Amino acid sequence: MNRDCQLDIVTRDENAARELAGTEGLRVHTGLTANSAPLRELYANADLFVFPTLGDCLPIAVMEAMAAGLPVIATNVGALREEVEDGVNGLIVPPRNANAIMEAVRALAQDTTKRHAMSAASRAIAEERFDAQKNYNALLALMKTCANTKK
Assigned domain for 141 exists: yes
Whole-model pTM: value is 0.86
Residues 6 or more apart whose Cβ sits within 8 Å of residue 19: none
Instruction: Name which of 14, 73, 74, 22 is nearest 48 in CA terms.
Output: 73
Structural domain of 124: 32-149
**pLDDT of res. 74:** 97
- Say which residue, 75 or 136, is predicted with more confidence: 75
Q: 2 near 25, Cβ under 8 Å?
A: yes
AA letter at 19: E
Assigned domain for 22 exists: no
**Residue 150: pLDDT over 80:** no
**pLDDT of res. 44:** 95
Across residues 10-24, what is the average pLDDT?
89
**Residue 5: pLDDT over 90:** no
Assigned domain for 64 exists: yes
Assigned domain for 26 exists: no
Q: 53 near 75, Cβ under 8 Å?
A: yes
Over residues 74-98, the pLDDT tens digits come to 999 999 999 999 999 999 999 999 9
**pLDDT of res. 62:** 95
The CATH number covering residue 120 comes to 3.40.50.2000
Assigned domain for 14 exists: no
Q: 77 near 53, Cβ under 8 Å?
A: yes
Assigned domain for 40 exists: yes
Q: In the structure, what pLDDT confidence band is assigned to residue 120 with cuts at 50, 70 and 90?
A: very high
Q: Count the domains in the chain.
A: 1
**Residue 118: pLDDT over 90:** yes
Assigned domain for 10 exists: no
Q: Calculate what percentage of the chain has a pLDDT beyond 70.
A: 97
**Residue 128: pLDDT over 90:** yes
Over residues 26-78, the pLDDT tens digits come to 999 999 988 899 999 999 999 999 999 998 888 999 999 999 999 999 999 99
Assigned domain for 95 exists: yes
DSSP secondary structure string for all residues of the chain: --TT--EEEE-S-HHHHHHHTT-TTEEEE-S--TT-HHHHHHHHH-S-EEE--SS-SS-HHHHHHHHTT--EEEES-TTHHHH--BTTTEEEE-TT-HHHHHHHHHHHHH-HHHHHHHHHHHHHHHHHH--HHHHHHHHHHHHHHHHHHT-
Find the helix packing angle between 98-110 and 112-129, rounded to 10°: 110
Distance CA 65, CA 37 (A): 14
**pLDDT of res. 1:** 47
